[in-house]
Structure 1
């Protein structure tokens, strides 16, 4: 395993912070006050739908002892059903989180 000094760690943290800032500024700062083309606005509507599975999948699949936890799978299924019925991402997230914490508290 490679060990890094405190200075190297801080250099990495600062470089990643600057990189993130530059990426966000390029989108928000440079073109934030200009009207976007309609085709781009249509594509941006699908961003939450594209990002949410990428955020949820690692938590759902887990690793090691957490792999395929029945609580997580049932909450994911309930979230999917609520999302399909209501067509609302916020309602689906609230239902999934509520069920996860509610069942988690009941089951221990």
Structure 2
């Protein structure tokens, strides 16, 4: 097993910290007393809608418990979550239904 050189590791960590701070400062520090343009505010509303599926999709398509093999319980639970969110328009209801569906399907399918 190879190890990462400590200099490279800390260079990457510090670089990511500076980049992360810079992105946050650009919006919070520089734009704090200014009104953002309407077109930018309209686009920023969809940030969470774009990021959450990007985080969840790999966990559904290639779940870790099955060593990356797509499993029927995970896909069905994702569909239940999607349907519950679509019809209820409530994130908490969708999460509760999806969690319950996943637990139930994993119990049924083993």
Same-fold call, TM cutoff 0.5: yes
Q: Aligning the two structures, in what range does the TM-score lie when normalised by the shorter sequence?
A: 0.7 to 0.9
Corresponding residue for residue 70 of structure 1: 72
Higher helix share: 1
- Name the residue aligned to 2:25: 25
Compared CA separation, residues 75 and 34, structure 1 to 2 (3 A): same
**So what's the TM-score if we normalise by structure 2?**
0.76
How far apart are residue 58 of structure 1 and its match? 0.9
Among candidates 89, 92, 104, match of residue 91 of structure 2: 89
Alpha-carbon shift at residue 3 of structure 1 (Å): 4.8
TM-score scaled to structure 1, two decimals? 0.77
Superposed CA RMSD in Å reads 2.6
State the partner residue of 1:103.
104
C-alpha deviation, 1:2, in angstroms? 7.2
Change (3 A) 1:105 1:77: closer
Distance 1:74 1:105, change over 3 A: closer
CA distance 1:32–1:86, shift in 2 (3 Å): farther
- Quote the Cα distance in structure 1 between the aligned partners of 2:73 and 2:55: 18
Is 2:44 the counterpart of 1:44? yes
1:57-94 alpha-carbon deviations (Å, 9 max, x no partner)? 11111177332111211110001101110123343233
